[in-house]
């Protein structure tokens, strides 16, 4: 007998690698060797399964973020860098069609994702950068809300344009240009971190 956790794990893998629109419940059932009816015992329809998959990914990433902040809380800049490094690990396994499919076909799942992106950038990252600015390691004139909106709010939209930037550039180079160099531009010279040397 299949468990809900095993069904969710398989669904996440299929949706993120092939795109949520391109994967049918029949595909998932066939992969797991179960009937489609079995899926309906756990989820009322495909949108509910897609939403549960997004929610599971978000919760996993939130656990990572909490661990990062708790273990590196003394250096908020390092927290921001590691949070986005971890985010890149998630994103590099996504096919662009996964996120595009959410936006177009699964409004509830897309709303979960959009809310998380907002919370991550405008709450978590903003608060971390605010701590750095209050410690005088980010230039006083820097508008953090604007910085977060420009550079940190929708990195996924930058990476997954028509051409997938993960396919065009090495992950480290992409990460440095999207995260590290932008932080380096607002950090004062008296801040010391190996990323900025």
Tokens of 121: 């950038």
> Percentage of the chain with pLDDT > 90?
60
| Alpha-carbon separation of residue 156 from 34, 135, 166, 181 (angstroms) | 34, 30, 11, 17
With cut-offs at 50, 70 and 90, classify the pLDDT of residue 14: very high
Tokens of 167: 């396919």
Helix (H, G, I), strand (E, B) or coil at 39: helix
Please determine, for residue 40, whether its predicted confidence score (pLDDT) is greater than 70: yes
Please determine, for residue 189, whether its predicted confidence score (pLDDT) is greater than 60: yes
Question: What is the CB neighbour count within 10 angstroms for residue 177?
Answer: 13
Tens digits of per-residue pLDDT, 106-124?
999 999 999 998 999 999 9
Q: pTM here?
A: 0.86
> What is the reported pLDDT for 195?
64
Helix (H, G, I), strand (E, B) or coil at 192: coil
138 has which bridge partners?
Answer: 187
Q: Are 78 and 194 in contact (CB under 8 A)?
A: no
> What is the reported pLDDT for 190?
84
> What is the Cα–Cα distance from 71 to 35, expressed in whole angstroms?
44
At 138, give phi and psi (nearest 5°): -120, 135
> What is the Cα–Cα distance from 76 to 30, expressed in whole angstroms?
46
Tens digits of per-residue pLDDT, 131-188?
999 999 999 999 999 999 988 877 776 666 656 777 788 888 988 988 889 899 999 9
Residue-by-residue DSSP string for 114-143: HHHHHHIIIIIIHHHHHHHHHTT-B-TT--
Q: Are 186 and 147 in contact (CB under 8 A)?
A: yes
Helix (H, G, I), strand (E, B) or coil at 78: helix
Please determine, for residue 197, whether its predicted confidence score (pLDDT) is greater than 70: no
187 has which bridge partners?
Answer: 138
Tens digits of per-residue pLDDT, 47-82?
999 999 999 999 999 999 999 999 876 899 999 999
With cut-offs at 50, 70 and 90, classify the pLDDT of residue 38: very high
Q: Are 102 and 110 in contact (CB under 8 A)?
A: yes
Please determine, for residue 129, whether its predicted confidence score (pLDDT) is greater than 70: yes
């Amino acid at each position: 007998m299949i468990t809900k956790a095993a069904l969710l794990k398989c669904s996440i893998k299929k949706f993120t690698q092939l795109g949520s629109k391109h994967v049918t419940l029949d595909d998932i059932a066939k992969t797991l060797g179960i009937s489609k009816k079995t899926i309906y015992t756990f989820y009322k329809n495909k949108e509910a399964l897609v939403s549960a998959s997004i929610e599971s990914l978000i919760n996993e990433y939130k656990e990572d973020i909490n661990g990062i902040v708790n273990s590196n809380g003394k250096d908020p800049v390092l927290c921001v860098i590691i949070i986005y490094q971890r985010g890149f690990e998630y994103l590099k396994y996504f096919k662009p069609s996964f996120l595009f499919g959410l936006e177009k076909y699964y409004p509830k799942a897309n709303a979960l994702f959009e809310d998380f992106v907002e919370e991550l950038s405008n709450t978590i990252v903003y608060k971390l950068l605010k701590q750095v600015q209050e410690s005088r390691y980010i230039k006083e004139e820097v508008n953090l809300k604007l910085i977060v909106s420009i550079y940190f709010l929708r990195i996924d939209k930058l990476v997954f344009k028509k051409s997938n930037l993960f396919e065009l550039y090495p992950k480290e180079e992409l990460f440095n240009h999207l995260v590290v160099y932008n932080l380096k531009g607002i950090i004062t010279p008296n801040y010391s971190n190996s990323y900025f040397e």
